[in-house]
Chains A and B, each alone.
Chain A
Amino acid sequence: MRTRSSNGSMPTSPSKERLYERARDWVSPAAIFVVLVVLTIYPLGSLLLQTIFPHLFDPLPSLGLSAGPLVQTFIDSSNLVAVLNSASVGLSASVLAVILGTLTAYGVRRAHGRWLRVVLSTSVWLIFFSPSYVLAEGWILLMQDNGILAQLFHLPNGWSGWFFTRPGLVLVMGLRYFPFVHLAMVPAIGNVGEDLFDAGRLLGASRGRIFQKIALPLLAPAWLAGASIAFAEGFGDFGFAAAITPQTHIPLLSYQIYAALSQAPVNYSAAAGLSLLVVLVTAGALWLQLWWLRRRGAYETLSGRSRIGGYATSRGRPSPATLASLVLAAIALLLPLGATLWVSLFKSLSGGLGLSNLTLANYGEALVAGGGVQPLFRSLEYALVAAVLTALLAVLVGYQLVFRGSAVNRVLNLIVISTIAIPGVVMAAGFVFAWNAVWLIPLHLVLYGTPICLAMAYISGALPYAVRLQMGAMSQISPNLPIAARVLGAGQRTVLSKIILPLVSATAVSIFFLSFTNVVFELPASSLLYPAGSPPLPVAIQAKFNAFEWTQGAALTVMGMLVILGVYGAGSYLAYWIEKRRHAALMPLPAGGSSEPEAVVEDRKPSVARL
């Protein structure tokens, strides 16, 4: 037997290679870990540590250990009630979001003709982009006694009493969060293909059975991707609950946190203890979900070879799903957004709905006299930087978590995602503690008070959504696609840039817009972290609201949304233009490869199912 090859091109000794190979295996997980530490773990840890070290950030920091705040958090029965309430609200909202999001995803798939599809998809995206307070505000203007609907239809006081209770809250949340499910579902339905459902139907299976045996396991990953965000959002919600249910107050966990923050002196250890509870519950829910997925082996089922469930192309009457989706989109979007637009045009808030009460003056006043131009541009800059970095980071982190699985990954995943439910103000406070800490002074690393710190907080806030969405997209890519490239000699970097990135680029673009919008309207981090003297747009808007200049605040909000729409339109056009040019250079392709400008809207990620 030959012991050694004479061929010098092969590595001759494992010991020389070993270190390098091992190091290389650790480089990218380590880099991602560092990024997550900087953006999430360190700030969150700085906050949560205060549950046991309440004096860690005192003017004279001490490591005095105290279990008091933690014990207090867990033995206070009102906290238990709050957890249960928050969980039930979050769960109901996510169930509703799943139902609505599935409906609209089918609606888009079934829509006849491009226009209908563009209208539907764009509406869902606009809801996705709309700041929550705009939607909440819109609903109140619409539904309250003497509100717009009451005035239009002469409804008696108290007609909408049901709306301002728990069911109304869940309804508003469901209408707010369903785009998360929709966006995950559209590609999933495409990948699963309707022939699988047809097969079940031909075998005489009832609809219920088809749902249980075919739809549920196949679509579960997409549902859960969307539902988990909806749950975490609903679980950590404060704004909606405070706005919608002032009379029948539902004690929620987020309320307890706000109450701790408005004490004098501010009780950060209590807020941290409650936040820990938030993290635990959210992480628990996510863990359950992952466990369920693993048990069902749901991910594997998506690597099959079902025919692509394409968009409907034949002419004819729109399907019921499409019609219902249109109605839904109109309700979820036009009513609340219309209300904000309307208010931005009011001369006086109580001047009635007549034309005589309308003016454009608010815009001029808000932008020029009110100094809204600079904050607007500032926020655009933050948004651009944060959104690009978030989209890229999401691809990197998603790749690490999906394709390079390890036990550490699961922990990272839970950490990143359970931060969704932590109220923004708490996370922002974590950033203050973390990046204003005294031990950073000698290192010249006190980032708090600089634009970098705010940008980091923006990215940190958008990252959980981004990673979740990106993981949903990546879990539908056959693991063989990157493996094939690896085996052919591509390094991890090449695999990422040449194989994975193009396949998930539509999702990356979605994430870019999501983060962009998030940043333009993100309030808690903006207000706690902005560099003195340089307020971003959300702070400027909030200042208008605080000064009861609602019409100007609404005008600034509308301006922000217009800018987002503009960026969105420009991005879509850019993508359209690039592809058109590319196709002109290639031979003409038969149907299937045609270019559609809404591709940025849709997650049209080509995937295994198309093979």
Chain B
Amino acid sequence: MNDDGSVQVELKNVGKRFADRTVLEDISLRVRRGQFVALLGPSGCGKTTLLNILAGLIGLGEGAVEFDGAPWSSRGYTLAPERRNVGMVFQDFALWPHMTVFENVAFGLKVKKPPDKQFRTAVSAALEMVRMNGYENHYPHQLSGGQKQRIAIARTLAPRPSLMLMDEPLSNLDSKLREQMRWDLLNIVQEANITTIYVTHDQTEALSMADHLVLLNEGRIEQQGAPSQVYREPATVFAASFLGAANVLHGRVTGRSGKVATVDCLGKKIQAISPASVGEQLALIIRPAEIHVGDSRREVEELGTRLHATVEQRAFQGTNWQYRVAVDADPERVLEVQDSSEYPIGESLRLWMPAGQCRLVTARLKG
């Protein structure tokens, strides 16, 4: 409907300090109409503060927030939350326990100026959207966790906000329900076609739901982009490890031939496609699933490095086996690899690390 791809929310160099602590620093971000943006980061990274700034609940210290080009927040100015027409979904659902489901959902419509006269139909529509018709007269304490979160979402949707903010909405649900709700939530948001900013510390949620992923660390944007891109091409050790298991090896670039750099680590010279120059001390990142086991054909087809290792631990994960292997050339190092075949503990494996999957990033160890 509104999906014309134009920038709807723009954050310009936003910064925030609490007392003597910097919580956010130089955050710049553009959110397009209809986009689903995930703010991902560990606790304390400032993502909730950023959400509160977007909602207008707190002011910012530096920079500016604009919505459709109009100012929302700038230094010393904060448009009050009730004048922003945003919706917010909370981790603890924040349903008002003294109101029925109907009253909860109708609240936003009734306090609107002027009040929405068709609020009954709007409430029904919102409840329909989250498939909770028939629960109008229930009180929150009579609902299950998943139902509560649906109602909380319906409450947010009912006044048709122009921006939806979600603060870890699924983290209070158990894992099975969480997976189901992930699908449902995506469905609801897509159906409603509302620009959404979603805060989470769970990389699965962020990767699976977002159109655009913003990785926050210690108040700064570590990396942003499409989830698949950020996953595949992490720019930092932190980005690599926070988005899922990754083997991180440290070493110095000792040689270069064409696109391929050679890194000294694991007692080997490992090839990686990278523009890094000789002499740099870098981190080499490769995800467990990207290391191939026993596949000699690849060694002919592509550039890479061969390693020999011994299985130390293994875990069955359904589709794949997960192995922790000790590298023969450097037995202190343990790598994590995945493979569909089963190998017993103590088995010697032949590993292949494709140069195209080995990424070199600066060795900053933060995160």
Contacts and interface: CB of A to CB of B under 8 A. Distances in A.
- Asked if A and B touch directly (CB within 8 angstroms), the answer is yes
Interface of A: 1-5, 7, 10-14, 17-18, 21, 24, 303, 305, 308, 478, 480-481, 483-491, 494, 498-499, 502-503, 586-587, 589-590, 592-593, 606-608, 610-611
B70 A10 contact: yes
B68 A7 contact: yes
A18 B59 CA distance: 13
Given A481-B94, A494-B111, A610 B87 contact: no
Given A11-B83, A490-B111, A611 B92 contact: yes
A10 B8 CA distance: 13
Given A10-B67, A484-B88, A485-B107, A499 B77 contact: no
6 contacts: A7-B70, A21-B78, A308-B141, A481-B96, A494-B111, A499-B96
Contact of A487 (B69, B87, B95, B98): B87
- 4 tightest A-B CB contacts, nearest first: A488-B108, A480-B94, A606-B97, A10-B70
Nearest to B173: A305
A485 B152 CA distance: 11
Contacts of B140: 610-611
Given A483-B88, A485-B96, A610-B141, 17 more contacts: A2-B69, A5-B68, A10-B68, A14-B77, A18-B77, A24-B80, A478-B94, A483-B81, A487-B57, A488-B156, A489-B113, A502-B98, A503-B96, A606-B141, A608-B97, A610-B140, A611-B93
Contacts of A491: 80, 82, 111
Interface of B: 6-7, 55, 57, 67-71, 74, 76-88, 90-98, 100, 107-108, 111-113, 137, 139-142, 148, 152, 155-156, 159, 165, 172
Nearest to A483: B57
Given A485-B107, A489-B111, A589 B87 contact: no
A490 B97 contact: no
A480 B90 contact: yes
Nearest to A488: B108
A480 B92 contact: yes
A22 to B, nearest CB: 8
A489 B97 contact: no
Contacts of A10: 67-68, 70
Contacts of B90: 480, 483-484
B155 A488 contact: yes
A606 B314 CA distance: 49
Contacts of B111: 485, 488-491, 494, 498
A488 B139 contact: no
Which of B68, B69, B83 has the most chain A CB atoms inside 10 A of its CB? B69
Contacts of B86: 487
Contacts of B95: 611
Contacts of B141: 308, 592-593, 606, 610-611
A18 B76 CA distance: 8
B9 to A, nearest CB: 12
A610 B97 CA distance: 7
B107 A498 contact: yes
Contacts of A589: 139, 142
Nearest to B148: A611
A464 B155 CA distance: 37
A3 B159 CA distance: 27
Contacts of B91: 480
Contact of B97 (A7, A18, A503): A503
B107 A488 contact: yes
Contacts of A11: 70-71, 79, 83
Nearest to A610: B141
A488 B100 CA distance: 17
A67 to B, nearest CB: 36
A489 B87 CA distance: 9
Nearest to A591: B142
Contacts of A502: 98
A589 B143 CA distance: 12
Contacts of B142: 589-590, 592-593
Contacts of A480: 90-92, 94
Given A12-B70, A503-B98, A611-B140, A21 B79 contact: yes
A478 B88 contact: no
Contact of A483 (B94, B108, B155): B94
Most central of B80, B140, B142 by chain A CB within 10 Å: B80
A14 B65 CA distance: 12
Contact of A611 (B68, B97, B156): B97
Contacts of A308: 141
B1 to A, nearest CB: 15
Nearest to B108: A488
B126 to A, nearest CB: 12
Nearest to B69: A5
Given A7-B68, A11-B79, A2 B6 contact: yes
Contacts of B71: 11, 13-14
Contacts of A607: 97
A556 B88 CA distance: 57
B71 to A, nearest CB: 5
Nearest to B91: A480
B98 A606 contact: yes
Contacts of A494: 111
Contacts of B78: 21
Nearest to A498: B107
B7 A486 contact: no
A502 B78 CA distance: 29
